[in-house]
Structure 1
Amino acid sequence: MSAHVRRGAVADDFTGATDLAGNWTARGLRTSVLLGLPDDASAEDLTEDDAVVVALKTRSASTDLALDQSVRAGRFLREWGAEQLYDKYCSTFDSTPEGNIGPVADALLELTGASRAVVVPSFPDNGRTVYQGHLFVGDEPLHESPMKDHPLNPMWDSSVPRLLTPQTQHQVGLVPLQVVHQGPDAVRAALAEHEQDGRRLIVVDAVTNEDLAVISTATQDEPLVTGGSGLALGLPARDREPRVLSRVPGRRVVLSGSASRATQQQVASARKVLPHAQLDVAAYTENPEAEVSRLLDLTQVAWQSDPDRAVLIYSVGAPDDVTAARALGDDVSQRIETAFASLATALSSAGASEFIVAGGETSGAVLESLGVRRLEVGQQLSPGVSWLAGTTADGRRHNFVLKSGNFGTEDLFVAGWEGLT
């Protein structure tokens, strides 16, 4: 397999898809993101692409739905010409034995005919590393990091093999860091040994981008790899100028539906500078139209005062907000997504053309509400965070940043706009 192979990825949420696409773009691959299951028309403009990511919303979906959509997306990518499939999931993995990571990996093994696949959640540029099979966030094991209190996917174990084993039909192996440091041939030999012993999903340690480069070289001929987006950074860089996106005339807005600790810090930083309002989930539950109208009116007043300044609308700004939201019922996250989807449509109609959106589920809801089906990947703002461009269902071009809850610099909501030309 050459370095210029076409690559396709199946991602389990929209922010993860753009995260991977940004990393591929940073390595010089011309990359597009397709939102939702592609249809025949989706392939028409992909002939010039080196890589395509299909963004699904399957991280928290039923396993049957996740399997069906992932296999259909993988089949489309192979028909398009992808010689290697990349099964992209969150770099902080999944907390439950019923999680979808294992079943989807099993299904893609069968689809591709792969006899094995690596499992590489590491993304060192964002502080995600794996050592002796244990996933770290910065200097902390995953189960001791702020992710242990994540409202949707709390993490109570840092052992990737232990997390994966109950999710898959196959035995799980581990290639430790000392083998990775011996180079690609040593990794290939270790993978082959695990395969001989019946282990088809094999976790590989990585703590630096150099480790990712070793793993990428060792797996360049594999039909399937799985992991977070970090493994994409192990590819050799191509000498190609990245696509640079220009500003789309119009208004700017930040929609933050994430409850992660990092996003709370970004909200706190932005509130010092940007006009802002908080989504009242209880009020939205009582009268959705009235709450969306209230936020739209506040935003338009702020735009009238300063047309070039972004307006921040957020659901969670502090830990107490998480507690209050949980008290509103098990479906509160769905209500928040629906609220932001309705608000995004209203804001777009009112003149918003550039959106920074925080949260994977929120990002998916916003883009689906706007009818965006394909994204061009532009300049990278920070690891895992890039500017994107897409066209809405009614033909209007918009710019987006879709940010995973834990990604991005603290000043992203304020300074991210400077990345547009």
Structure 2
Amino acid sequence: MFSKNTIAFYGDDFTGSTDDLESLSLAGANTRLFINTPTEAMLAALPKLDAFGIAGKTRSLTPAAMEATLRPALLQLKSMGLRHIHYKVCSTFDSSPQVGSIGKVMDIAQDVFGPTSIPLLVAAPALGRYGLFGNLFAQMGIGSNGTIYRLDRHPSMKAHPVTPATESDLRLHLANQTAQSIGLINILDLELTDTELEQRYQEELTKGASVILFDALYQKQLTKIGCLLEQLASAKGVLFSVGSSAVASALGAAMAVQGNWVPKTNWPKPIAIEDLLVLSGSCSPVTDAQIKWAADNGFEVLAFNAEEAVEYGMQAKSIQIVLEKATQALTAKQSVVIHSNGSVSQDTINIPSDIIGSLLGQIGLHLQEKQGLKRMVLAGGDSSSHAARAMGIEAVEMLAPLIAGAPLCTSFSSNSCMDGIEINFKGGQVGAANYFGLLRNGSLFN
């Protein structure tokens, strides 16, 4: 049995899971992110843990596969005596009825925890994600000065190769994935007192809503939402919620108000390195711009033929050439980007993220065994979960913040060559053009 403050989250992919890891760690929680659901014995060996997460891969799964994967995990988490269980989704709400269905998650949760109300908070102001009257707006490139678009007009999200955004009103978007009624606490409601806000929440439930969506425009509004979530948890014993890392930020802020956690501001400064390895399965134009920047700034940039690699695996000629050139560059202390040419190939082929991710993971493990690298980057929200598993990573903890939503982490693995390396998981929408330079440099540029 854990303390009343223990929070657990299940991430729909690895990059998004490290976003939650960062939010909780910054809030002062001792947090570890696991690849698989940890047993109570594993957690008992970490007595100082305030929160933990599971880096899932449900964002890339069909509803049937989600059922088989998620239900056992939620049942196991429910048995642990936790106060909060949070299903972490991407802050651009990547999902569809066929792939990564968030509505399916909510239906499973109603069976496991219900009948219950499910708070839904997607807007994450710190990441450039804003909720207004049920509609989601997103900045182009987290951690950049990019333009803010309504989700269905966002240049990257409306052209996503798997879950293109066609609707910005999240209530309408979700209505295609679940029959549950969805209520709204809008931006004006957040000006109410704490007592009045709880009454508004109850009003939505009285109207028949079982999912309650929260707007948010400013980071300070998350504290009010977090305090409400804490009240709901006190009444229920365990509260299941869905949302972006804003849920973790909201709960962290509420814990600070209660005096349970003290935000952590003193973090080590990562050193600059010369031989950074970047493995990218991303199709995002944001990542494409970062790869182009890397090519112009001293990185060896290598692409493999994705179609050939699917057929022949690691024995594909293009992968063998990439491995040879990458080994030469890394030996010469030159940073390397290896990518699947996703921004180009998505126009003609659509290779499943598990295949691309597993290939990238095998490439990374092969090079790590030979080179003993200090730091790596895995880029691509859909592919990173599969890459991490192929590399034998079992858990990570936050080492230092760099760009909001994508911390530098330390890996844990039973494979000695992967244990203790520094690793960064970058979603497709994260970062300015010089992102890989930042990771090579170890800090923000002056």
TM-score above 0.5? yes
SS across alignment from 1:254: strand
| Aligned twin of 1:84 | 84
Task: Measure, in 2, the Cα distance between the counterparts of 1:226 and 1:82.
Answer: 16
| Aligned twin of 2:142 | none
Aligned-pair CA distance for 1:334 = 4.4
Go from structure 1 to structure 2 and tell me whether the alpha carbon gap of 1:214 and 1:28 turns closer, same or farther (over 3 Å shift). Answer: same
Go from structure 1 to structure 2 and tell me whether the alpha carbon gap of 1:368 and 1:171 turns closer, same or farther (over 3 Å shift). Answer: same
Go from structure 1 to structure 2 and tell me whether the alpha carbon gap of 1:248 and 1:32 turns closer, same or farther (over 3 Å shift). Answer: farther
| Aligned twin of 2:392 | 371
Give the conservation status (yes or no) of the 8 Å contact 2:290–2:433: yes
| Aligned twin of 2:246 | 230
Task: Measure, in 1, the Cα distance between the counterparts of 2:425 and 2:347.
Answer: 24
User: Is residue 331 of structure 1 aligned with residue 351 of structure 2?
Assistant: yes
Aligned-pair CA distance for 1:251 = 4.7
Task: Measure, in 2, the Cα distance between the counterparts of 1:292 and 1:393.
Answer: 26
| Aligned twin of 2:367 | 347
User: Is residue 157 of structure 1 aligned with residue 167 of structure 2?
Assistant: yes
User: Is residue 143 of structure 1 aligned with residue 186 of structure 2?
Assistant: no
Alignment map for 1:108-119 (pairs within 5 Å): 108-113=109-114, 115-119=116-120
User: Is residue 254 of structure 1 aligned with residue 255 of structure 2?
Assistant: no
Partner AA of 1:45 in structure 2: A
**Aligned mate of 2:338, from 292, 299, 313:** 313
| Aligned twin of 1:404 | 427
Task: Measure, in 2, the Cα distance between the counterparts of 1:230 and 1:369.
Answer: 29
User: Is residue 211 of structure 1 aligned with residue 227 of structure 2?
Assistant: no
Aligned-pair CA distance for 1:193 = 0.8
Partner AA of 1:381 in structure 2: L
| Aligned twin of 2:185 | 175
Aligned-pair CA distance for 1:244 = 4.1
SS across alignment from 1:86: strand
Go from structure 1 to structure 2 and tell me whether the alpha carbon gap of 1:373 and 1:324 turns closer, same or farther (over 3 Å shift). Answer: closer
Give the conservation status (yes or no) of the 8 Å contact 1:95–1:156: no
| Aligned twin of 2:291 | 267
Aligned-pair CA distance for 1:378 = 1.9
Go from structure 1 to structure 2 and tell me whether the alpha carbon gap of 1:259 and 1:183 turns closer, same or farther (over 3 Å shift). Answer: farther
Partner AA of 2:384 in structure 1: S
Deviations 1:151-199 (A, max 9, x none): 1211111010001123223211111110012243232111101111221
Task: Measure, in 2, the Cα distance between the counterparts of 1:119 and 1:90.
Answer: 12
| Aligned twin of 2:303 | 278
SS across alignment from 1:263: helix
Aligned-pair CA distance for 1:323 = 4.5
SS across alignment from 1:219: helix
Q: What TM-score does the superposition give when structure 2 sets the normalisation length?
A: 0.85
| Aligned twin of 1:413 | 436
Go from structure 1 to structure 2 and tell me whether the alpha carbon gap of 1:272 and 1:42 turns closer, same or farther (over 3 Å shift). Answer: farther
Task: Measure, in 1, the Cα distance between the counterparts of 2:274 and 2:81.
Answer: 38
**Aligned mate of 1:239, from 240, 262, 268:** 262
Give the conservation status (yes or no) of the 8 Å contact 2:354–2:383: no
Give the conservation status (yes or no) of the 8 Å contact 1:109–1:224: no
Give the conservation status (yes or no) of the 8 Å contact 1:359–1:405: yes
Aligned-pair CA distance for 1:61 = 0.8
Task: Identify which range, 355-364 or 112-121, moves more after superposition.
Answer: 112-121
Q: What TM-score does the superposition give when structure 1 sets the normalisation length?
A: 0.90
Aligned-pair CA distance for 1:120 = 1.0
Partner AA of 1:363 in structure 2: S
Deviations 1:265-309 (A, max 9, x none): 21121111112111222442454313322111111111232x2x4
Partner AA of 1:297 in structure 2: E
SS across alignment from 1:177: coil
User: Is residue 122 of structure 1 aligned with residue 112 of structure 2?
Assistant: no
Aligned-pair CA distance for 1:240 = 5.4
SS across alignment from 1:167: coil
Task: Measure, in 2, the Cα distance between the counterparts of 1:389 and 1:33.
Answer: 10
Give the conservation status (yes or no) of the 8 Å contact 2:17–2:88: yes
Aligned-pair CA distance for 1:336 = 2.5
SS across alignment from 1:153: coil
What root-mean-square deviation, in Å, do the aligned CA atoms of Structure 1 and Structure 2 show?
Answer: 2.5
Aligned-pair CA distance for 1:415 = 1.4
Task: Measure, in 1, the Cα distance between the counterparts of 2:104 and 2:352.
Answer: 27
SS across alignment from 1:231: helix
Partner AA of 2:430 in structure 1: F
Task: Identify which range, 116-125 or 86-95, moves more after superposition.
Answer: 86-95
Give the conservation status (yes or no) of the 8 Å contact 1:37–1:72: no
SS across alignment from 1:386: strand
SS across alignment from 2:59: coil
Partner AA of 1:233 in structure 2: S
Task: Measure, in 1, the Cα distance between the counterparts of 2:398 and 2:73.
Answer: 20
Give the conservation status (yes or no) of the 8 Å contact 1:91–1:228: yes
**Aligned mate of 1:184, from 191, 194, 201:** 194
Task: Identify which range, 141-150 or 336-345, moves more after superposition.
Answer: 336-345
Task: Measure, in 2, the Cα distance between the counterparts of 1:74 and 1:225.
Answer: 12
Give the conservation status (yes or no) of the 8 Å contact 1:33–1:53: yes
Task: Measure, in 2, the Cα distance between the counterparts of 1:361 and 1:111.
Answer: 26
Go from structure 1 to structure 2 and tell me whether the alpha carbon gap of 1:333 and 1:368 turns closer, same or farther (over 3 Å shift). Answer: closer
Q: How much identity, in percent, do the aligned residues show?
A: 24
| Aligned twin of 2:404 | 383
Give the conservation status (yes or no) of the 8 Å contact 1:370–1:392: no
Partner AA of 1:103 in structure 2: K
| Aligned twin of 2:235 | none
Task: Identify which range, 191-200 or 104-113, moves more after superposition.
Answer: 104-113
Task: Measure, in 2, the Cα distance between the counterparts of 1:385 and 1:103.
Answer: 27
Deviations 1:186-226 (A, max 9, x none): 32111101111221101111111112221111111331221
